[in-house]
Amino acid sequence: MRTLKEKGVLVTGAGRGIGKRLAIGFARAGARVGLLARSKAELDLADLEIEHAGGVSLRLRADVRDYEQVSAAVERMRVHYGGVHVLVCAAAVQGPIGPLAETPPKQWVETLETNLIGVVHAVRAALPHMIEHRSGKIIVLSGGGAASARPYFSAYATAKAGLVRLVETIAEEVRDHNVQINCMAPGGTYTNMTDEILRAGERAGWKDSEDARQVRLTGGVSPEKQIALAQFLASEKSNHVSGKLIHVNDDWKRLESSNVHPELFTLRRVQKI
C-alpha cells in the first residue's frame, strides 16, 4: 500500500501469532516495522522472516506491562524511523480458563495487566508524538468476548470489552488532532491460544472447544483478510473512521465512504426491542 511506504509502524506482540502476521504484512507494504515482544528468540525469528521478505524491521524487546520499557521502545522508533506513525496493539495472553469461582485472582489480574493496561501503556507512549505532528493511526486488537459474553474466559473477555470503550473514549479525545484509533476483531486464528483451549478441555466450555477444533482444522481467518483490514485502518482512506470495533468479516469497505451511520461498528445499549 503506497501510503504506508517508509512509515514507522510499531507492532506489540509481534513475536508470534496475529501480531507477527500483521508485522510481516506491513513490512511487505513498505513500512518500517518495530517488532515489540518479550522473547528474544521470537523477535529474532520475526526479524529474519521480514528480512527474507525484503522488508525493514527493528527488534524492540520489551514487556507491555512495564511503561518505561514501552516508552523506551517508542523513543527508539523515533530515533530510527522518525516516530511511531502507526501503532498496532496485538500483545495479549489468554489467561486463566475456567469458572471465575475457581480462578486464582492473581492470574486474572495478570491477564488484564497485559491485555488492557499493556495497551494503555503503548497508546500513552505513542500519542504525544502523534498529537504534536497532527497525524497518527492506532489499531487495537479486540474481539474474543468484546461484543458478547464469553463464559470461562472472564479475564480475557473483560479486557477485550474494556479495550472497545477505551478506544472509543480516546477517539473523542484526539479527534481534533487528526489521530484515529480503532479496534480490529481479527476473527478465529490458529495460534498458541487455540492449543491452550484444546488442552483445557471441558474447562473451556463446549462452544469455545468446538470453535478451537474448527480453527485447528481450517487454520481460521486468512492472513490476507486480517492484513487488508489493518492496512485500511492504517491508511489515509480511513481518516474519517475512529472509535470503531470492526471485525474482519464485516463489510468494512463501506467505511471508505464517509456517509456511514455514526453508531455503525460500535457497542451500544439496546434501548427498545
Over residues 200-233, the pLDDT tens digits come to: 999 999 999 999 999 999 999 999 999 999 999 9
Q: What are phi and psi of 9, to 5 degrees?
A: -115, 115
- 48 assigned to some structural domain: yes
Q: Tell me: the pLDDT tens digits for 64-81?
A: 999 999 999 999 999 999
- Examine the pLDDT at 263 and tell me if it is beyond 90: no
Tell me the mean pLDDT in the region 251-255: 89
Query: Is residue 92, in this structure, part of any structural domain at all?
Result: yes
* H-helix segments, 34-117: 40-52, 67-81, 105-112
Report the pLDDT averaged over residues 140-167. Answer: 96
Decide: 183 and 267 in contact? Cβ < 8 Å: no
C-alpha to C-alpha distance for 91 and 49, rounded to whole angstroms: 19
Q: What's the CATH number where 18 sits?
A: 3.40.50.720
Give the pLDDT score at 1. Answer: 42
Q: List strands edge to edge, sheet with 8-12.
A: 56-61, 32-37, 8-12, 86-89, 136-141, 179-185, 245-247
Percent residues over pLDDT 70 in the chain = 99
For residues 253 and 239, the answer to whether their CB atoms sit within 8 Å is no
Given a cut of 50, whether residue 177 has pLDDT beyond it is yes
Residue 257's pLDDT is 76
Q: What is the mean pLDDT of residues 146-158?
A: 96
Number of compact structural domains in the chain: 1
Q: How confident is the model at residue 161 (pLDDT cuts 50, 70, 90)?
A: very high
Average pLDDT score, the chain:
95
* Whole-number pLDDT of residue 260: 75
Q: Rounded to whole angstroms, how far apart are CA atoms 71 and 230? A: 23
Contact yes or no for 116/163 (Cβ under 8 A): yes
Long-range contacts from 58-64, C-beta under 8 angstroms, 24+ separation: 58/32, 58/33, 58/34, 59/35, 60/10, 60/34, 60/35, 60/36, 61/36, 61/37, 62/36, 62/37, 62/38, 63/38, 64/12, 64/13, 64/36, 64/91, 64/114, 64/117, 64/118, 64/119, 64/121, 64/122
Does residue 259 sit within a domain? no
Q: Three-class SS of residue 86?
A: strand
120 domain residue, yes or no: yes
Does 271 fall in a domain?
Answer: no
Establish if 61 belongs to a structural domain. yes
Work out the average pLDDT over 11-27: 98
Q: What does the pLDDT read at residue 143?
A: 84
pLDDT > 90 in the chain, percent: 89
Residue 149: partners with Cβ closer than 8 Å, 6 or more residues away:
157
In-domain check, residue 14:
yes
pTM above threshold 0.85: yes
Residue 196 lies in a domain: no
**Does residue 28 register a pLDDT over 60?**
yes
Q: Is 143:163 a contact under the CB 8 Å cutoff?
A: no
Domain interval for residue 40: 2-189+222-249
